[in-house]
Amino acid sequence: MKQKPHVVVVGAGAFGGWTALYLQRQGARVTLVDAWGPGNARASSGGETRVIRATYGPRAVYTHLAVRALALWQEHERRWKQRLLHPIGVLWLVEDDDAYETAALPILKEAGTRFEQLTGAETAKRYPQINCERVRWAIFERDGGYLTARRACAAVLEGFLAAGGVYRQVAVQPPVPGEAVRATDGSTLAADVYVFACGPWLGKLFPDVIGDRVRATRQEVFFFGTPPGDGRFTEEALPVWADHGNHFTYGIPGNEWRGFKVADDARGPVFDPTSGERLPSPEALRSARDYVAVRFPALKDAPLLEARVCQYENSPDEHFIVDRHPSAENLWLVGGGSGHGFKHGPAVGELVAGLVLTGRQADPQFRLSRFAQ
């Protein structure tokens, strides 16, 4: 490869933006493009907040990736003098099936994370605003918390531009291996290497190689109002929480005063991220209200302040995709965030930049060949 290759990165979200930044810093000449802009309302990296946590059940690769990502978030907060990370902790509530959390404990320890294992009684005493009647035990990750998603995407773009990168807001047409990528405005994006990190649109741009291996699903998020002057549901009094009961429900208190965030992690129906209407459904709102009334009794009948429809872009096994296109050595495909990718953005960007510039292969769990097995 040339000493200073030109790389076009398509997609300015968590994976693409960080990849472009690291490529630019490591000596490439980089053009970053996005159809609507970093952290836009259609993007999987849009919205206000995302959880950062290291508990991943038996999947050690993501615990270690999260630890690296956390260090990079902290580094860039200092570098950019912006607050992007709120390290208020993450509390995992365990009721019946505890296989996921039990498998995570030795991995968290081996990775050097700071965590506590609490009994149900200890959890109830520490957080009386949570109904812990059925909680048997819990994990508290001291260094976890949440990230300001949309703001972080904008900060990454600013850092990329400051490093000498070029940004263009254009959409691209489905590429033809071996040819320059064409934008929908008629211009041509010629480069030595291409990285497509375009979230839920990856399958549409590469129907033969990706197709339904990245499938967008509709996900709904609700923000409820807390009682006037009640500090029990602020981020000073309550961490991010992840509830493994009948459903995997999670939430973020405070959200920089936007409200008490509640979301069901269960995969929703298939969704078109370009044309789909983003109106919340009465069924999902009712389910969220029912959950809040049980787990946080003081918030029963709390008013809805805000609702948002976003999407996950899911791979079949919820592993990320980081690999070359099988018909084009100079074309990389990065995606499959599967609802847990945002926190890993800086670590994934660092990884992908290294692969692109050295020609190495990604780890087997990220390669496309796993789908043929």
Domain boundaries, the chain: 1-53+145-214+315-373
Query: Which tokens in the block code for residue 6?
Result: 């030109």
Would you say residue 282 has pLDDT above 60?
A: yes
Residue 310: predicted pLDDT: 96
Would you say residue 224 has pLDDT above 60?
A: yes
Query: Tell me, what DSSP letter sits at residue 225?
Result: P
| Region 85-94 average pLDDT | 98
Residue 177: predicted pLDDT: 80
CA 143 to chain centre: 17
What is the DSSP secondary-structure string of 346-371?
HHHHHHHHHHHHH-PPPPGGGSGGGG
Work out the pLDDT band at 221, boundaries 50, 70, 90: very high
Residue 120: predicted pLDDT: 98
Parallel, antiparallel or unpaired: strands 166-168 and 137-141? unpaired
Residues 6+ apart with CB under 8 A from 22: 349, 350, 352, 353, 354
258 bridge partner residues: none
Residue 146: predicted pLDDT: 98
| Region 17-38 average pLDDT | 98
| Region 108-113 average pLDDT | 98
Residue 194: exposed, middle, or buried by beta-carbon count in 10 A (0-12, 13-18, 19+)? buried
Of the options 2.60.120.620, 3.30.200.20, 3.50.50.60, 3.40.50.300, the CATH number for the domain spanning 1-53+145-214+315-373 = 3.50.50.60
pTM of the model: 0.97
Residue 233: predicted pLDDT: 97
Would you say residue 198 has pLDDT above 80?
A: yes
Q: What are phi and psi of 228, to 5 degrees?
A: -55, 130
Q: 70-87, pLDDT tens digit by residue?
A: 999 999 999 999 999 999
Query: Which tokens in the block code for residue 132?
Result: 């812990």
Residue 373: predicted pLDDT: 66
Strands (E), 54-205: 85-86, 90-94, 115-119, 137-141, 145-148, 166-168, 181-182, 188-189, 193-196
Residue 178: predicted pLDDT: 82
Q: What are phi and psi of 207, to 5 degrees?
A: -65, -30
Q: Which of 314, 309, 275, 262 is nearest to 46 (CA)?
A: 309
**Range of weakest confidence among 106-110, 241-245, 285-289, 354-358:** 241-245
